[in-house]
């Protein structure tokens, strides 16, 4: 019984960080990884054409506190598809949610605004 109780406590402690990492970001700039440092001061000026040209580097968001979170592979595929279908020239913003794992956002949903 003691082993079972210890196992359940350890399992719960391991699960809590996984559940606590889910985040939602509203109306935040999305940029490609290649240009993320170059456009950090004004990410809204980054053009869609450049983002698509640099798509192989991946994408991410610039948070309100000026941190850059890279998207996981699924998030990259979703935003690349949305950018290709869009006719916006710049001011690329998204509503996105997912699990933060280090400096990566494991995207569960994303919407290009």
Strand, coil or helix: what is 17?
Answer: helix
Q: What is the mean pLDDT of residues 17-44?
A: 87
Give the mean pLDDT of 67-76.
Answer: 97
DSSP-assigned beta bridge partners for residue 69: 61
Q: For the chain, what is the mean pLDDT?
A: 88
The structure's pTM equals 0.79
Could you tell me if residue 1 is inside a domain? no
Model pLDDT, residue 21 = 61
Q: How many domains does the chain have?
A: 1
Does some domain include residue 84? yes
Q: Which domain holds residue 45?
A: 22-112
Task: Confirm whether 12 is domain-assigned.
Answer: no
Q: Is residue 77 one of the residues assigned to a domain?
A: yes
Whether pLDDT at 55 is above 70 = yes
104-108 average pLDDT score: 97
Burial, 40: exposed, middle or buried (Cβ in 10 Å; 0-12, 13-18, 19+)? middle
Whether 8 maps to a domain, the answer reads no
Q: Is residue 70 part of a domain?
A: yes
């Amino acid at each position: 019984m003691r082993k079972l109780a210890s196992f359940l406590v350890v399992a719960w402690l391991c699960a809590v960080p996984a559940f606590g990492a889910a985040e939602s970001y509203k109306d935040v700039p999305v940029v490609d990884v290649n240009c993320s440092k170059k456009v950090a001061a004004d990410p809204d000026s980054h053009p869609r054409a450049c983002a698509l040209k640099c798509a192989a580097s991946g994408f991410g968001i610039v948070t309100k506190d000026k941190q850059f979170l890279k998207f996981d592979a699924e998030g990259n595929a979703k935003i690349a598809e949305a950018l290709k279908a869009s006719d916006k020239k710049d001011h690329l913003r998204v509503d996105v949610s997912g699990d933060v794992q280090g400096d990566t956002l494991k995207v569960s949903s994303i919407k290009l605004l």
